[in-house]
Structure 1
């Protein structure tokens, strides 16, 4: 049995967390600190926190012996997850007695027991917190139950205060937290104005009570997007208040981010048009030159022109393929079924297919005895190209990009590491969103349409693997891909 929790150390560490939040820190960095603090206090070998969204979950923070799980998707429809979400709030589970890939991978890392609890805000499950133990004897006591529930409650409060969480920035949690509510009469006079309404609009109850609702309302039962004077957008709904004859319930929430994403899509179209136009212009220029001056050009210039046309046509084909894949949000239905393959050999072939400039920057250190991975070998070239291209884009000239690989008991891993500007902790998950860019508008320093990492994640997860980003010690970024071990 693990030792009693070290309450004194936990309270001191928790006080430090609060001070860091008050000083402006938020999001994943604080979440990581909380998990490391909880791991020590609970005597666990590792901790994970899975955040839940509309369609599924994802492990967005992991520490200790569970760090390998970072970025791993969580299927909300699996029997195990359903049990965790609907049974007792806090449970002790022997991992070797439940089905699924996560328990198999965890036991492969020497983990035996999981103490899990839900992080609940109101009636919304924002995520689940897991403490993992190695030995059969490490069965948590009631004190461990109480402490992990306390930690989960604090994490839920972080969501309530929206201090950089949720990581993904969308889903039912944000919608519920951001909903303002007003009750008005048929003269549109405000009779009730809840605290969330004050938060969303910046108007206090004293400002609006008995005054006319400060924005329009839609037809009952419908929705309306309305832009406030300060540029923010509200999504407004209205319905009759049950049991009354002269009252209307109006709910509203800030959807400015959604409208910004719509703007990002416009930017995506503009960027894509530019990226398509560049190779097309080059191809047309060289083709016109060959057509008009074939006899005047020396042989080496004709060969150079045809080489450029071929190279640019290849780039154009890849770009079109990415655009078509990204347009299909339901996910590709094609591709080979996962089978065992030699990952080292696949990576070396993929390396040879990289553009010359990227190959020169890449330092490859692959073991000779790596176990086989289970997946779609044909996708490795695409995955490696996207990850190395991304590393190249955010790294200074002359710096090295490293390709390494290793394995553990249940997965085969390869990493692309750079010494570039580094990924911000709050962006390590959003970077995989479709069309997402760390910068927008005139501030953008780096080209691209926000598709590469989105496509990489889709391709890898189709093979029962997962991918994650994290800041690199000493500066830079590490992209890590994990596939099941053969």
Structure 2
């Protein structure tokens, strides 16, 4: 109608504005509530992250992660799976039956495999988009949604955090929190793994140190012992409790890399090496028993001195008498010339014997002595060796006591002759005051035993085995008193063993008994 204006009924505009104000206030309150809840969850996430990063036990970290999952994401249950080659293993769960822990499934057909192929960091699966009944998570009654986020350790996928929902829907906030928690879980797991690797390495180092044959000690900057392994205790006789916190019980090298040798109270020689640890100011001290090497060095030095002396004596005599013959041939006369030649021959034989022993000793030490083994008449060999044996300057001969029908033995008659000759030579040599030297043979069940007994100076107690070593003769004074190069008994034992026999030394009062055994031959003595 003309002049009529269409509009709202009276009061309608005010009512609409009121409803709009109420709606706006409700929306503002809802947004404010969401922001407050988001802030609370973020603060809680920060606390959870700090909590899991403070723990270095791998399983404890995993359980803390899944335990906080339901609080942060509103999930009804959850779990964490690890990648193991081409499979997944459920290693931590919350609000699920414990029998599921340890369950394994193929990675390829899993939701985690689908997530990795997509290249994303989170995945949401619902019963509207796919069936969830074939998954292990279906044990949660009413399961309708699964959200999962990948956890990377050192830049590579390590596992996934699963959030399971049966009573509520999932929005972007929950997915965002799941993604953040999974990412922080990867960092915490990486830290726990690194810590456990350090612990494992240290445990391995402790095992290596404790099982080392060398003594190993760690000395701090003040010179006090901080670590003392089992070998250190065995080498020195000091337990860790006796030395830790105290100075080392032996001198340390003045320079890094320098070796020193020190004799401790027990008489054992230690070789000590010290290495600095720049980061801590500590020193690692490595020490080992070099008593045998030290003794060998001393024996070698004494051997060289002894050989020089022993060789010089016959050489000097040969040179002297040869020079005399050349310069005074006519003046000496027939008798004088014969005497000089006899002396040269005698000294040459002595020299030859010394050189032969040196060669035998060298062969025995390098490759062992060989023997041509077969059955032979030991009784006959004993009579020949003892009968032909003449000790220069002595009128007495060895007393021989051998059964008429002594069983044959298996061995080498040439090697046996050397063995018996050396044993008889030693018996007379180390009996400067005289006394009876007796050779006896007796048949045993499987062997024939030969003993050479004397009434000489004897063997010091405890040296019964030592006398068979190379370049060993007893005390240094005896070496000078009786001469020789200390290879005789070493060669004797090597020759005895080369035949399948054995030789041993036994102290007696007075003198020494040497026992030499060979195996009985299978055939009777009449063969």
Shift of 1:334: 6.2
1:421-445 deviation per Cα after TM superposition (whole angstroms, max 9, x unaligned): 2223311111111112321369964
Counterpart residue number, 2:438 = 402
Question: 8 Å contact 1:193–1:209 — kept in the other structure?
Answer: no
Counterpart residue number, 2:486 = 450
Residue aligned with 1:414, SS: strand
Question: 8 Å contact 2:431–2:455 — kept in the other structure?
Answer: yes
1:162-219 deviation per Cα after TM superposition (whole angstroms, max 9, x unaligned): xxxxxxxxxxxxxx99964423458865212368549728799666626589413997
Question: 8 Å contact 1:283–1:309 — kept in the other structure?
Answer: yes
1:96-150 deviation per Cα after TM superposition (whole angstroms, max 9, x unaligned): xxxxxxxxxxxxxxxxxxxxxxxxxxxxxxxxxxxxxxxxxxxxxxxxxxxxxxx
Counterpart residue number, 1:300 = 335
Q: Select which of 411, 421, 442 maps to 1:385.
A: 421
Shift of 1:456: 0.4
Counterpart residue number, 1:315 = 350
Counterpart residue number, 1:440 = 476
Counterpart residue number, 2:518 = 483
1:94-243 matched pairs, under 5 angstroms? 180-184=215-219, 189-193=224-228, 196-197=232-233, 200=236, 209=245, 214-216=251-253, 224-227=259-262, 233-236=269-272
Determine the C-alpha separation between the residues in 2 that align with 1:345 and 1:331.
33
1:415-426 matched pairs, under 5 angstroms? 415-426=451-462
Determine the C-alpha separation between the residues in 1 that align with 2:323 and 2:309.
21
Counterpart residue number, 2:323 = 288
Indicate whether 1:262 and 2:292 are aligned: no
With normalisation by structure 2, the TM-score equals 0.50
Question: 8 Å contact 2:259–2:272 — kept in the other structure?
Answer: yes
1:29-57 deviation per Cα after TM superposition (whole angstroms, max 9, x unaligned): xxxxxxxxxxxxxxxxxxxxxxxxxxxxx
Residue 359 and residue 261 in structure 1: after superposition, are their counterparts in 2 closer, same or farther (change >3 A)?
farther
Shift of 1:482: 0.5
State the structure with bigger RCO (CA 8 A, min sep 6), 1 or 2.
1
Structure 1 portions without partners, runs of 5+: 1-175
Determine the C-alpha separation between the residues in 2 that align with 1:348 and 1:219.
65
Answer with 1 or 2: which has the greater Rg: 2
Shift of 1:330: 3.9
Determine the C-alpha separation between the residues in 2 that align with 1:182 and 1:343.
58
Determine the C-alpha separation between the residues in 1 that align with 2:261 and 2:497.
38
The worse-fitting range, judged by mean Cα deviation, of 417-426 and 268-277 is 417-426
Q: Select which of 333, 347, 365 maps to 2:382.
A: 347
Residue 401 and residue 393 in structure 1: after superposition, are their counterparts in 2 closer, same or farther (change >3 A)?
same
Counterpart residue number, 2:313 = 278
Residue aligned with 1:421, SS: coil
CA RMSD of aligned residues (A): 3.8
Counterpart residue number, 1:113 = none
Question: 8 Å contact 2:371–2:498 — kept in the other structure?
Answer: no
Structure 2 portions without partners, runs of 5+: 1-210, 522-527
Residue 462 and residue 339 in structure 1: after superposition, are their counterparts in 2 closer, same or farther (change >3 A)?
same
Counterpart residue number, 1:373 = 409
With normalisation by structure 1, the TM-score equals 0.54
Question: 8 Å contact 1:200–1:254 — kept in the other structure?
Answer: no
Determine the C-alpha separation between the residues in 1 that align with 2:418 and 2:478.
30
Determine the C-alpha separation between the residues in 1 that align with 2:502 and 2:226.
51
Shift of 1:286: 1.7
Shift of 1:399: 0.9
Counterpart residue number, 2:447 = 411
Determine the C-alpha separation between the residues in 1 that align with 2:234 and 2:473.
31
Determine the C-alpha separation between the residues in 2 that align with 1:479 and 1:211.
50
Residue 338 and residue 289 in structure 1: after superposition, are their counterparts in 2 closer, same or farther (change >3 A)?
same
Question: 8 Å contact 2:361–2:470 — kept in the other structure?
Answer: yes
Question: 8 Å contact 1:394–1:420 — kept in the other structure?
Answer: yes
Determine the C-alpha separation between the residues in 2 that align with 1:406 and 1:305.
45
